[in-house]
Structure 1
């Protein structure tokens, strides 16, 4: 989903902003070992990507709980069943109110805060200075002009640096994404899917750096349009044939962004079939790492979230790991983003209650 295109237009009036353990053992090829398969299933991940939160707080935005009492956003999320926090990281972001922040230091600070609240942590490497998504995968400015061998080093060193900074603060991410919504690849043009051999090498440098610091962290590769089975099969067949290493397949699912803005009921079964087929075909775990629905239709979004959680939980052999809402706290009154789970009164909408229902 190309959220950045929407946000670049809709958030132009914002004063301040920012877009954006389960121990495992893996082989050198990224395959899950027999010992890991036999582990007792960890609690289902009910998550929130909240990269905007520091900027919202800095701008003076106030969060209220269901009773209208001012409260820390983390407390409100936790009281609604959220147990996992997803955080993006950009290489050298600007201080731009829309597309800045989310630097290494800011991301580490947020991860520390999440752990203090007892949350599990996912880190999302965009490998860019700003949004990376299906619409664009622009390499960081500091990496421009580097030949391909140097880009491989760049990916490894940057990934290692962030992971080491997290470890130094006592944070072990349970999951780490190498790239964000990468149907066309990442770090263009060298890492485009037009050159899968190079893309796989870039992925593996990220994978190797993560495992060097935190071998128990599970590495995720992430595509959009989670209901699009052909999209995922083509991409992950290529990943397999080119030797890309990973542990988990991450999916985005946004019915709102599909052509014609259809109701989720028209695509939810395709999402379920896709997840089941991915597990069977590739032997990996799956996770919906981004989901969202219209804030003005909280009942529909609630129903969609319940349905998504049920479909993920129904994936065979406990290989459906969890569901993460993208920026539920990003109220439209602050962000102009239409898919939060927060009302203009500063309180969460009914949609967020779906994480208590399942």
Structure 2
């Protein structure tokens, strides 16, 4: 009888632990990881600012690393532009492959995600100017396609060798009229498509998981986006994400007049082309901090509201580019070297 009770007790203990372990396995089944919403900044001016002695301070007056100040305000992503053969000018130079690798590694070590923005130029490329690099100026179109592939691969391979694989790569910067004029103009969509696809192919050769962005300005202008991406579709352009700039200042309207148009365009791009969307540039007036804060909060809300997590994030363009150093009025930094309260919108 005593032996029977002992056997029964052991059997019950065995069943209890078996059941507990089974339950533990059920409770600890890994849940799918959902990508975090990207909140970040383009900081291409930062190396030059530091090289010229600019100091950054927290609101308590203590000097601090600029990247840490941005991270403390909720930012988790850094965007870096790349020029082919830039000069040394503090405002319109730098951003070489070598400098980009250093900055990307520095940001990644702080836990930041990385976006690389290829201008395919020696200086600023935007809707008003898309000049080819001087070294490519006399190349045939076939050579230009090779140039785009080789330059894209070379920069991304240098990053990879340093231990940095970006999450996103922009092929061109604000290109409603195309890039690398005149060969890559939207007046010749067949050639523009081939150039864009060379950038895509080089990126995917480094890592197929990198998402390729095609980027236009005036994110509230649905007609402009439809015209461009209808043509991109007709010409078989390969890309993953539609990137938008949103600057109410440049179109002389308050954000309250255009934020609904931005939201409509974001959703229309997803529905029409089945792509993800991201506001890769945004900015407000440095001396209207409350308005800029409200504009940023509304922009983040609009992108987060895109269904099925297809709104990927929001990036401020050069928030640290304080006006006395840069001459730029749409930074989010104060004259005392401290961040503006406008950036608190990224905390929420």
Specify if TM > 0.5. yes
User: When the two structures are aligned, how many residues end up with a matched partner?
Assistant: 317
1:301 aligns with: 292
Partner of 2:44: 51
Deviation at 1:98, TM superposition (A): 2.4
For residue 40 of structure 1, report the CA deviation from its aligned partner: 4.6
Does the 8 Å contact 1:63/1:71 carry over to 2?
yes
Q: TM-score, normalised by structure 1?
A: 0.88
Aligned-pair CA distance for 1:41:
3.0
| Greater helix proportion | 2
Is 1:184 aligned with 2:177? Answer: yes
The match for 2:344 among 343, 349, 353 is 353
The equivalent of 2:310 in structure 1 is 319
SS at match of 1:138: coil
SS of aligned partner of 1:270: helix
Q: CA deviation at 1:355?
A: 0.3
Aligned to 1:163: 156
Instruction: Tell me the distance in 2 between the aligned counterparts of 1:67 and 1:334.
Output: 22
Map residues 321-336 of structure 1 onto 2, 5 A cutoff. 321-336=312-327
* Contact 1:111-1:171 within 8 A present in 2 as well: yes
Residue aligned with 1:325, SS: strand
* Runs of at least 4 residues off by over 6 Å: none
- Are residue 87 (structure 1) and residue 80 (structure 2) matched? yes
Out of 253, 269, 294, the residue aligned to residue 262 of structure 1 is 253
Question: What is the aligned counterpart of 1:276 among 254, 257, 267?
Answer: 267
1:111 pairs, out of 104, 110, 116, with 104
DSSP-derived class of the 1:267 partner: helix
CA RMSD of aligned residues (A): 0.7
In 2, distance between residues paired with 1:356 and 1:114?
Answer: 19
Structure-2 separation of matches of 1:103 and 1:214: 21
Q: Which residue of structure 1 lines up, in the alignment, with residue 211 of structure 2?
A: 218
Deviation at 1:97, TM superposition (A): 2.5
Secondary structure of 2:245's match?
A: strand
Q: Secondary structure at the match of 1:85?
A: strand
Largest Rg, 1 or 2: 2
Secondary structure of the residue aligned to 1:87 is strand
Normalization by structure 2: what TM-score?
0.90
Q: CA separation in 2, counterparts of 1:80 and 1:93?
A: 31
